[in-house]
A and B are shown apart, each in its own frame.
Chain A
Amino acid sequence: MAYSEELREQARQIMARYPEGRQRSALLPMLHLVQSHDGYVTPEGIALCAEMIGITKAQVAAVSTFYTMYKREPTGDFLVSVCTNTMCDVMGGQRVYDTLKEYLGVDHDETTADGKITLEHAECLAACDYAPVMTVNYEFYDRVTPDSALGTVEALQKGERPAPTRGARLCTLKEMSRQLAGWSEDRAEALADNSLGDATLAGARMAADNGVTAPQIDPATPLVKKENS
C-alpha cells in the first residue's frame, strides 16, 4: 500500500502533539491512523510508523500485537463487539454472541465473506449498568437480546445504519480509526448524538424528582483559613 503525502503529513501532526524528542508517544495514534487507511495493521503500516518515528519494524510490531484494537487481518466496515465478561455473560451476553456467530457464520475476530461485518467477543466495555451490551464500531447498543442484536446486524447487512442507544450515528470502522488517531469529530450532529440513558440518570433523576439536593455551597468560601479570623 502506498501512503499519500497527506497521510504522512497527518502522521507528522500526531508526532507534534508530544514533546520534542518524545515522538515515540505518537505510536499508538499512528497505528490507529494506518488502520484508518488500510482497515488493519499491515506490514506497510508498520514500516511507515517505524520509518517516521525512527524505530525498528520489530519494535512497532511488538506494540501493535499487544493491543486488541489493532487488527491483524482485514476488517469489515462494521466491527460488532459483544461483551461476554461475567456480568454481561450472566445477563445473556453469551447467548447474544452465540446467536450472531451462528447467523453470520464467523467466529471471534473473523469477517464475513462480503467484507461487511467483523465479529468479536469483548471484555468489559464499561457499561455494566446496561448489561448485556454490544457495540458497533464502539458505539453502544444497550441491553441487547439475541433478537435485537440480530435485527441490528441484519440492518447493517442491508446497508442501513441503525442508531445506537448511546453514542454517535455510525460511521465506518476506518472513519472511526481516524478519530482514534486523535482527530475531532467533523460531523456536528454526531457530536450531539445521545449519551444518556435511564441507568446513567437513575440516581440524579430520583434525587431531582424527590427534591433531594447536596448541601448548598457558598462559592465565596475561602480556600485557605486565615489565622485568628
Chain B
Amino acid sequence: MASAPSAEVLSKLTPVLTKRWLSPEAWKIDVYEQLDGYAALRKAVEYHPDEIIAFMKESGHRGRGGAGFPVGMKWAFIPQNDGKPHYLVVNADEGEPGTCKDLPLMMNDPHSLIEGIIIACYAVRAERAYVYVRGEAVHAARRLRNAVEEARAKGYLGRNVLGRGFDLDVVIHSGAGAYICGEETALLDSLEGFRGQPRLRPPFPATHGLYASPTVINNVGSIASVPHIVLGGADWWKSLGSENAAGTMIYSLSGRVKNPGQYECGMGITLNELLELAGGMADGHNLRFWTPGGSSTPMLTAEHADVPLDFDSIAKAGSILGTTAMMIFSDQDCPVYASYRWIVFYAHESCGKCTPCREGNYWMTRVYRRILSGRGTHEDLDTLLDACDNLLGRSFCGLGDGATSCVTSSLKYFKQDYLDYIEGRRKPLLNAADLVGAH
C-alpha cells in the first residue's frame, strides 16, 4: 500500500489555498504581497459592488463550512440602500471533530482571509467585519491580529480603503470554548455577549443578523477562496472542480493512514484516491469506516471509497460532504465505541436550549455505556433509534441533527457490532463500575 501515487492521482492535487503555506513567512504582509497578495483586491475595486456579487454567483463558489450554500447568493440576499449598517462575520470557530483545515490557513496565510474579507465587505457594503475565531486557536488569532494591523498600516483597512471612499474595520474576536458557536446564529448571540444558543429562523441573518442588521456569515475557507477566484476568474474556478461543485477543497485526512494531513484537490476526488496520496492505510490496518465531513456526517464504509467527494455525490451515498474532514478508521477500531465517544461530545456541547438535543444526547450516552459495558439489551438499539427519531429535525439548529448521524449510520452498517456486545461475544470495553447512576 505504500507505493507512490500514480501520475493520474498526483495530478488531482490542486494547490491553491494551500500553496502559500510552503512559503514559511507568507503570514507577513510584504511576503504575501510578493505572492500575488492584495492584487485581487485592487482588481475587485475596479468593479461596482453589484458586479462583484454577480461574479461570485457566476463562479459557482459554495460555502466551505459544511452546508455548501452558494456564496454569491448569500451576498445577494443583503438588502441594499436600506439605511442599516451591514456586517460580515467570519465563522472561524473550527471545532467539528475531524476538521482541521481553517486553523492552518489562518496561521500560515492570514492575509488571504483578510483580503477576502475586504472584497466581501466592498461587495455587500459592510463597514465592519468580525472574525469570530475559536478561543483555543491562539496562534491563528495571533497571526490574524498581526495581519489586521499590517493591512491597516498599508491602507487596505481603515478609512478610505485604497482611496476608494469606503471604510472598513476588522475585529478579531476570540471565543471562549463552545462548539455550538460554530452554528451561525449561536455565533451571533455569542458575539453579542450572550450564551451561544441558536436562534429561530426566519428571520434569517441576511436581514436580521448581528444587532438585527443584515449580516453575511461565511466560513474561513469560503472567504479565503475569494481573492483566488477574483484573480483567476469564474471559469478558472469552475474548471478546478466538478459539476455543481466549483473549485478546490482542502481534504483533511486523519486517523489510520500513513501520512495524515491536508490535501487540496478539485472537488470530486474519491477516498481511494486520497488514500493513495496519503501513502495508503497505516501498516496492519484495513479501512472499515470513515466520515466524509466530520462527526456530524453519517459514517460510510469501504464500499463507498470510490464515491466522488462532492456535495451531490456524497448526498446520494447517504451522507454529507460537510467540512471534508475524512476521519479514517480501521478494522482495529470499534464503530460502537467511536459513536459512543461522539455522543459524549454532543451531550457535552449541547447548549441545552432544545429538550430533544439536551435530553436525547444525555440518555444516549447512558445507553451506549450500558451496551459497551456488556449489559446492553436488544431494546437498547430501539431506544437509540427512537431517541434519534425524536432528535432529528426537532431542534433549533443542526447540532441535534448531527448527533444522530453516527448513531443511525453505525446501526445501519455495523449492527452486528452492537449485537456482539449485547449477546456477549465481545469483551466489554467499559467497566461496569463506571456506570454508577447510569441504570
Contact = CB atoms under 8 A, between A and B. Distances in A.
The answer to whether A binds B is yes
Interface of A: 17-19, 22, 24-29, 31-32, 53, 62-63, 66-70, 81, 84-87, 89-91, 122-131, 135, 137-140, 166-168, 176, 179-182, 184-185, 190-191, 193, 195-196, 198-208, 210, 212-215, 217-219, 221-224
B262 A207 contact: no
B176 A69 contact: yes
A207 B178 CA distance: 36
B395 interface: no
Given A63-B194, A86-B345, A195-B143, A129 B174 contact: no
A167 B260 contact: no
Interface stretch (B60-68, B133-141, B303-311): B133-141
B296 to A, nearest CB: 11
| Residue among B85, B137, B240 having the largest count of chain A Cβ atoms under 10 Å | B137
Contact of A224 (B19, B22, B47, B108): B47
A182 B51 contact: no
B22 A67 contact: no
A37 to B, nearest CB: 16
B236 A215 contact: yes
A185 B145 contact: yes
Contacts of B14: 207, 214
Given A22-B211, A191-B143, A66 B345 contact: no
Contacts of A87: 97-98, 254-255, 327
B277 A203 contact: yes
A62 B352 CA distance: 13
A68 B176 contact: yes
A4 B194 CA distance: 26
Contact of B341 (A86, A131, A205, A218): A86
Interface stretch (B99-107, B158-166, B384-392): B99-107
B172 A138 contact: no
| Residue among A66, A89, A127, A212 having the largest count of chain B Cβ atoms under 10 Å | A66
A200 B21 contact: yes
28 contacts: A19-B211, A28-B174, A32-B176, A67-B176, A85-B345, A86-B338, A87-B97, A87-B255, A87-B327, A91-B255, A123-B345, A124-B345, A129-B252, A129-B253, A138-B136, A167-B139, A180-B135, A182-B173, A195-B139, A196-B21, A196-B104, A198-B261, A200-B21, A202-B260, A203-B263, A214-B14, A218-B233, A219-B36
Contacts of B342: 85-86
Given A66-B195, A182-B174, A201 B22 contact: yes
B341 A208 contact: no
Contact of B196 (A66, A193, A212, A215): A66
Contacts of A168: 138-139, 142
B22 A69 contact: no
Interface stretch (B185-193, B200-208, B366-374, B417-425): B185-193
Contacts of B224: none
Contacts of B251: 203
B315 interface: no
B350 to A, nearest CB: 12
Contacts of A67: 135, 175-178, 196
A55 to B, nearest CB: 8
Contacts of A190: 142
B236 A221 contact: yes
Contacts of B233: 217-218, 221-223
A129 B43 contact: no
A53 B194 CA distance: 13
Contact of B128 (A19, A167, A191): A19
Given A70-B176, A87-B98, A184-B146, A202 B259 contact: yes
A84 B337 CA distance: 13
A135 B262 contact: no
B240 A214 contact: yes
B230 interface: yes
| Residue among B55, B176, B239 having the largest count of chain A Cβ atoms under 10 Å | B176
Given A124-B97, A168-B139, A205-B22, A224 B254 contact: no
A204 B24 CA distance: 13
A157 to B, nearest CB: 22
B27 interface: yes
A179 B142 contact: yes
Contact of A129 (B5, B19, B108, B254): B254
B217 to A, nearest CB: 15
Contacts of B365: none
B192 A195 contact: no
